[in-house]
Amino acid sequence: MHEASLILGMFDTIESDYQDYEIEKVTRIELEIGRLSNAEPLILKQSFEVLKAGTVFEGALFDIINVATEVRCLVCNSIYYPEDFPFMCSNCESLRSEILKGDQILLTKLEMEVK
Ligand SMILES: [Zn+2]
């Protein structure tokens, strides 16, 4: 499952980034999830609940911030927030666009106690 491997990848990244510290426990994690990232927040939460058992992440609060899709029109430079594909500029109806936000999966907060 895509979401489960995302959670495991996040655990691995945190543990390797902080391997010089001895993590006692992680107390809080916040993730920014773009709508275009194909990660389903509810499934991410469920995966986290299952996978955290017996790890330093067991007692952590896990917050997910949903980020709307933000697009810039390449014709008229308008910024707009499409709900779905195809992206069409609300100003000039062009389909040529650049994604500014919405495809990210970012770890935006991390709190932990170290030994
Ligand atoms: Zn436009």
User: What pLDDT score does 89 carry?
Assistant: 96
What are the DSSP calls for 40-108, one per residue?
Answer: -HHHHHHHHHHHTTTSTTTT-EEEEEEE--EEEETTT--EE--SSSSP--TTT----EEEEESS-EEEE
Q: Which parts of the chain register pLDDT below 70?
A: 1
Q: Which residue has the tokens 């902080």?
A: 18
Task: Read off the amino acid at residue 83.
Answer: E
Is the peptide bond between 82 and the residue preceding it cis, with omega within 30 degrees of 0? no
Segments making up each domain of the chain, as ranges: 2-13+24-114
**Contact, 96 vs 73, CB < 8 A?**
yes
User: What CATH number should be reported for the domain whose range is 2-13+24-114?
Assistant: 3.30.2320.80
Can you give the pTM of this predicted structure? 0.82
Tokens encoding 115? 């030994």
User: What pLDDT score does 1 carry?
Assistant: 59
Give 25 Cα–ligand 1 centroid separation in angstroms.
48
Give 65 Cα–ligand 1 centroid separation in angstroms.
28
Give 102 Cα–ligand 1 centroid separation in angstroms.
19
Neighbours of ion ligand 1 (CB under 5 A): 73, 75-76, 78, 89, 91-92, 94
